[in-house]
Structure 1
Amino acid sequence: MSAPTARPSAFAKRAGDAVCRASAFLTRLRRARLFHPAGRSFAGEVTIWGTSGPPTGVAFLDEPGRYPATIRLSKGTSTPGSWPDVLGLAVRVHTDGPRPVDLLVSSSGARPVLRAVALPRRRFAGTYSTIVPLRADRGRRLWLAALADPDSIDLGRSLAEVAAATRTEEPRLVLATASAVGPWRPFGQVSIGTQLSARQDAALAFDPIGNLPTGLRAVGAMAWLRGQSYRGSRRARGVEAQSGGSIGVTV
C-alpha cells in the first residue's frame, strides 16, 4: 500500500497563492505570457529510440515510441531580431496517457557545470537543458536536454529565421539525458514541421511540473517557484495546463 501524499502546510499554501497572484498580475500587466512571451509554435513529431546503456527507470525515456507533438521555440525576454537572449524550447508530446508530456528546456552549456545555468545566445541551434535536475523514482537525479543535430538544417538566429527554416525542410533536435557529471546520452529526436497560427500559439499552455513523464519529479525550491509562477500566468491568460496543441499534423 502506497504512502499517502503529504498535504502542503498552511504557510506553503499561502505562499504559493501569493506567488500565483503576483505572477497573474505581471502577466496581465504585460498582456502576454509571463515567461518567453515571443515565440513560434509548430506541429511536429517526437521519436524515442530509448536510452543507451543502463536504463533510467523512466519508461518514456527508455522505451521506443513515436508521438505527435507541438513544439514552441521562444525568446525569454523578447529581445529584437537576432540579439542574444535566453532561448526556450517547449515540446508537448501527445501520448496515449491521460495527460500530455511537457518538456521545457532553456539555452545552456553542454558541460556538467554549465548545463545547470541558463545562458543567453544568438543561435537557436545549440544545447537546451532543463537547468534544474529532475528526480527519478530510483532517487537518481537526471537532466534532460535538446541538442543540435549536425545533420539538420540550421534554425538560424531569429524567430523569423526559425519559421523560414521549417518552410524548406524539417529541422531536428536530439533529445538526451545525463546525470550531474556524466555525458549526454541521446534517447530520441524532435522533428519540427508546419508552423501553427498566431491564435494557436496564444492558446498553447505548458506545465513543466505537472506534465513531466511518469517516473520523473521536479523537486526543490526552484521547481516549487516555477510551478506556482506558471500557474499564475496560465490563470491570467485564461488557459489550462493542457490547453492548446495540435495532434492533427505530424512530420
Structure 2
Amino acid sequence: MTVTPPPSRPAGRAATAVERASTALGRLRHGRVLHPAGRSFVGETVIWGTPGPPTGVALLDDPGRYRTTVRLSKGTPTPGSWPDVLGLALRLHHDGGRPFDLLVSSSGAAPVLRNLPLPRRRFSGTYSTITCYRAGRRRLWLAALADPDSADLGRSLATVAAATRADTPRLVLAVASAVGPWRLVGQVSVGAQLSAREDAALAFDPARNLPPELRMAGPLAWLRDQTYRGSRRARGATAQSGGSTAATV
C-alpha cells in the first residue's frame, strides 16, 4: 500500500490560505467561485469500453450505463454569447457508492492544446480535463467531444437550455495519453433541465469523487482542490451536495 506523506508546514499554510481566499470570494459572490453561471440537466452516460489497450480504470474499460447530472457553464461569466472559458461538469452516479465527478473546460483537441483552457463562443466543441490523471504509471486526459450528429448547443446558456427542450443533445467521451489521439469510450446524453434551486445546490469535487484507480496529477491539481474546497465551504455544501435526488434519474 502506498502511503502519502503529510504535507509540509509551508504547503499546509499555502493550502489554508488558498481555501480561505476561495471561501471569502464565494461569500462575497453569494455563490460559486468557479463557473458561477450555468445550467444543470438530467443526463445519462453510456460507456462503450476502451478501444485498444485498456486504461486500467474499470469505469472506462468496461461497458456500463450511468445516470448522470450534467452542468454546462461559463467561467467568468461574460455577457450573452461573448467568448469565455466554457465548462462541462458531469456527475456519474453509482448506486450505493461515491460518484465520479468529471470537470472539463473548453480547449483544443490537439495534444499541444489539450492542457490549455481556451475561450470560445459555442458550447458544442472540445472540452478536456486540462490537468491530467494518473492511473498507475499512466498519465491520462479525459475529454468530451462534439458529436457531429447531435443537436447544436448554441452560443449561450439560453440556447443550451432551448436545445434540451427541442431534442436530446449528445457529447462523446474520450481518453488520451499526453501525445496520443483521442480514443472514444462513451456518450453523454443531456436531458431535461433541473431547477435553479437544484443547480445552486450542486457541488462537485473533482479531486475526491473519482474511480478508485484514478487520481488527479499535475501542478494545478493541488490549487484546484483547495479552490473547490473553499467554494463549497462558502456555500455550506459538501463534496456530494445535489444531484442525488430522483429528479436526476
The verdict on a shared fold, with TM-score over 0.5 as the criterion, is: yes
SS in structure 2 at match of 1:17: helix
Give the match for residue 83 of structure 2: 84
Whether contact under 8 Å (2:41, 2:248) holds in the other structure is no
Q: What is the CA distance between 1:247 and its match in structure 2?
A: 5.2
Whether contact under 8 Å (1:47, 1:190) holds in the other structure is yes
Unpaired runs of at least 5, structure 2? none
Give the match for residue 207 of structure 1: 205
SS in structure 2 at match of 1:143: strand
The equivalences for 1:1-251 within 5 A come to 2-96=1-95, 98-137=97-136, 139-246=137-244, 248-249=246-247
Q: What is the CA distance between 1:249 and its match in structure 2?
A: 4.9
CA distance in 2, matches of 1:94, 1:209: 16
Whether contact under 8 Å (2:46, 2:64) holds in the other structure is yes
CA distance in 1, matches of 2:96, 2:15: 28
Q: What is the CA distance between 1:111 and its match in structure 2?
A: 0.4
Q: What is the CA distance between 1:29 and its match in structure 2?
A: 1.4
State the one-letter code of the partner of 1:103: L
Residues 12-56 of structure 1, C-alpha deviation per residue, up to 9 Å, x if partnerless?
Answer: 222111110011011111222100000000011011001100000
Whether contact under 8 Å (1:92, 1:100) holds in the other structure is yes
CA distance in 1, matches of 2:3, 2:175: 30
Q: What is the CA distance between 1:4 and its match in structure 2?
A: 3.0
Q: What is the CA distance between 1:96 and its match in structure 2?
A: 3.0
In structure 2, the CA distance between the partners of 1:3 and 1:136, relative to structure 1 (3 Å rule), is closer
Whether contact under 8 Å (2:69, 2:248) holds in the other structure is no
CA distance in 2, matches of 1:104, 1:155: 18
**Pairwise CA RMSD:** 1.3
Aligned length: 249
Whether contact under 8 Å (2:147, 2:172) holds in the other structure is yes
SS in structure 2 at match of 1:114: coil
Whether contact under 8 Å (2:132, 2:218) holds in the other structure is no
SS in structure 2 at match of 1:190: strand
Q: What is the CA distance between 1:167 and its match in structure 2?
A: 0.4
Q: TM-score, normalised by structure 2?
A: 0.97
Whether contact under 8 Å (1:74, 1:89) holds in the other structure is yes
Higher mean C-alpha deviation, range 214-223 or range 200-209: 214-223
In structure 2, the CA distance between the partners of 1:136 and 1:248, relative to structure 1 (3 Å rule), is same
SS in structure 1 at match of 2:246: coil
Whether contact under 8 Å (1:154, 1:171) holds in the other structure is yes
CA distance in 2, matches of 1:97, 1:60: 15
CA distance in 1, matches of 2:179, 2:96: 32
Unpaired runs of at least 5, structure 1? none
In structure 2, the CA distance between the partners of 1:67 and 1:180, relative to structure 1 (3 Å rule), is same
